């Protein structure tokens, strides 16, 4: 039987593992760490961590009805996510970064909200947690009577901590690189970042069209 501490440790591992793969939020967080304050980069990552914890909780509690809802609206969610990524990519591409002694400020709340929305519009996060729970042999932690099981709370808290741990590592990487780049390299980084984010967005749209899923929402 897994103890509450065990669920926390499992959650930390799950949260870290699902946050680490390179994606739009990783790029946004890394850019903020390069161009702004370390705290701001971490807070933006924390927005994504909240989304991870939300989906981790739904998966842990075995909400089968929500699983059906996510599945039925997955196309719409992916389209919204793709649109947001395209906006981010366009803004990043047009930006002209400059490393001043005083870091860039502002836009943190908007960045946090953007990271949260990008996470919530990615159904893969929910299914990723379901898959990891299955691999770890962690079953339905719901009580069936509407109450939240303490083990589920421990698991959700662990996921949030694990995700935040990853964002802390990414911010540290950004701050380390900050002292080794110049304005020309920052422009290149901006264009590469925008291209990667745009690639994810276009890839999502191509996938929907290729599977003829786009027509399901028209």
Per the domain annotation, does 87 fall within a domain? no
Residue 142 lies in a domain: yes
Cα Rg, the chain, nearest whole Å: 18
- Residue 197 forms part of a structural domain: no
Tokens of 43: 């807070």
Query: What's the number of domains the chain is made of?
Result: 1
CA angle, corner 217, sides to 26 and 130, nearest 5? Answer: 45
pLDDT tens across 20-56, in order? 766 778 888 888 887 778 888 899 999 999 999 998 8
CB atoms within 10 A of CB 154: 22
pLDDT band at residue 145 using 50, 70 and 90 as cut-offs: very low
Residue whose structure tokens are 């701001």: 40
CA 106, chain centre distance (Å): 21
Per the domain annotation, does 153 fall within a domain? yes
Q: What is the pTM of this model?
A: 0.70
Query: DSSP labels for the chain?
Result: ---HHHHHHHHHHHHHHHH-S--HHHHHHHHHHHHB-HHHHHHHHHHHHHHHHHHHHHHHTT-HHHHHHHHHTHHHHHHHHHHHHHHHHHHHHH------SSPB---HHHHHHHHHHHHHT-HHHHHHHHHHHHHHT------SSSPPPHHHHHHHHHHHHHHHHHHHHHHHHHHHHHTT--HHHHHHHHHHHHHHHHHHHHHHHHHHHHTT-GGGG-
Exposure string for 75-106, b = 16+ CB within 10 A, e = fewer: bebbbbbbebbbebbeebeebebeeeeebeee
Domain of residue 156, residue span: 4-73+98-182
How far, CA to CA in Å, does 211 sit from each of 80, 192, 201? 17, 28, 16
Residue 216 lies in a domain: no
Instruction: Flag whether 213 is in a domain.
Output: no
- What are the pLDDT digits (tens) for 51-95? 999 988 888 776 555 666 666 767 777 787 778 778 877 877 887
Q: 37: left (phi > 0), else alpha (psi -120 to 50), else beta?
A: beta
Are the C-beta atoms of residues 44 and 32 closer than 8 Å to each other? yes
153-187 pLDDT, tens digit each? 888 899 999 999 999 998 998 888 877 767 677 67
Distance CA 146, CA 182 (A): 55
In a domain, 113, yes or no: yes
Residue 190 domain-assigned (yes or no):
no
């Amino acid at each position: 039987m897994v103890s509450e501490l065990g669920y926390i440790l499992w959650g930390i591992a799950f949260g870290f593992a699902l946050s680490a793969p390179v994606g739009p939020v990783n790029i946004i967080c890394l850019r903020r760490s390069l161009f702004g304050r370390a705290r701001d980069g971490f807070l933006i990552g924390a927005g994504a961590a909240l989304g991870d914890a939300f989906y981790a909780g739904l998966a842990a509690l075995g909400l089968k009805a929500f699983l059906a809802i996510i599945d039925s609206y997955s196309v719409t969610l992916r389209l919204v996510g793709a649109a947001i990524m395209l906006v981010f990519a366009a803004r990043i591409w047009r930006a002209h970064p400059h490393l001043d002694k005083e870091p860039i400020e502002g836009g943190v709340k908007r960045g946090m909200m953007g990271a949260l929305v990008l996470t919530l519009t990615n159904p893969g996060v929910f299914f990723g947690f379901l898959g990891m729970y299955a691999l770890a042999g962690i079953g339905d932690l719901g009580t069936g009577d509407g109450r939240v099981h303490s083990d589920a709370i421990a698991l959700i808290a662990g996921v949030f901590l694990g995700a935040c741990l990853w964002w802390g590592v990414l911010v540290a990487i950004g701050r380390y690189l900050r002292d080794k780049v110049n304005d020309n390299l920052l422009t290149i980084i901006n264009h590469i970042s925008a291209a990667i984010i745009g690639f994810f967005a276009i890839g999502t749209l191509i996938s929907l069209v290729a599977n003829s899923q786009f027509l399901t929402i028209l």
